[in-house]
Amino acid sequence: MPNPAPQSEMDRILLVDDEVHLTNLWRMILEQSGRYLVHEENRGTRVMQTARSFRPHLIFLDRHLAGTDGGELASEMRADPELGSVPIVCVTGSVTKDEAATHGLFGGAPTLAKPFGSHALTLLAATILAARHRTLRAA
């Protein structure tokens, strides 16, 4: 395992899915790099509160949470002054990999079609966060 960055320098990633075993697996995969501080939220009713307190740099959001619509949560996040600029990735099992690659959901958000491999998860996280860093440096 690589030497982890100090927590103050780590990118924060919020994983939202009602399937606890999936968020556990995704968290372990992302944390292996030593570059990310990862938090899981498995209850749709607590996503906004968790996101506001954790202040993520990237959110992986399940499209179909038990009792909650991921698209509505994404819209609520985009309208929130604290969360509106945070990139969101739609995670769903209801599109094909080809559809996910060509049609973003949640208003054009990048989409990961379940099931996906660890490489797809880490590559997308690294790509989105690198773009975020470039944008922040340019500002």
Evaluate if residue 107 carries a pLDDT over 70. Answer: no
Question: Which pLDDT value is given to residue 17?
Answer: 96
Give pTM, 2 decimals. Answer: 0.88
CA distance 48 to 80: 9
Tokens of 137: 């440096």
Evaluate if residue 128 carries a pLDDT over 70. Answer: yes
Question: Which pLDDT value is given to residue 87?
Answer: 95
Q: What is the mean pLDDT of the chain?
A: 88
Tokens of 129: 């966060």
Q: Is residue 2 part of a domain?
A: no
Residue with tokens 């999936």: 22
The answer to whether residues 8 and 50 touch, using CB atoms and an 8 Å cutoff, is no
Structural domain count of the chain? 1
Q: What is the CATH number for 26?
A: 3.40.50.2300
Q: Is residue 1 part of a domain?
A: no
Annotate the chain with DSSP letters as a single string: -PPPPPGGGSEEEEEE-S-HHHHHHHHHHHHTTSSEEEEEE--GGGHHHHHHHH--SEEEEESEETTEEHHHHHHHHHHSTTTTTS-EEEEESSS-HHHHHH--BTTTB-EEESS--HHHHHHHHHHHHHHHHHHHHH-
Task: Using the Cα atoms of residue 74, residue 76, residue 79 and residue 84 in order, give the sign of their dihedral.
Answer: negative
- Domain span including residue 37: 7-138
- Residue with the bigger pLDDT between 69 and 129: it is 129
pLDDT tens digits along 40-56: 999 999 999 999 999 99
> What is the pLDDT averaged over residues 11-24?
97
pLDDT tens digits along 75-89: 999 999 999 999 999
CA distance 101 to 89: 12
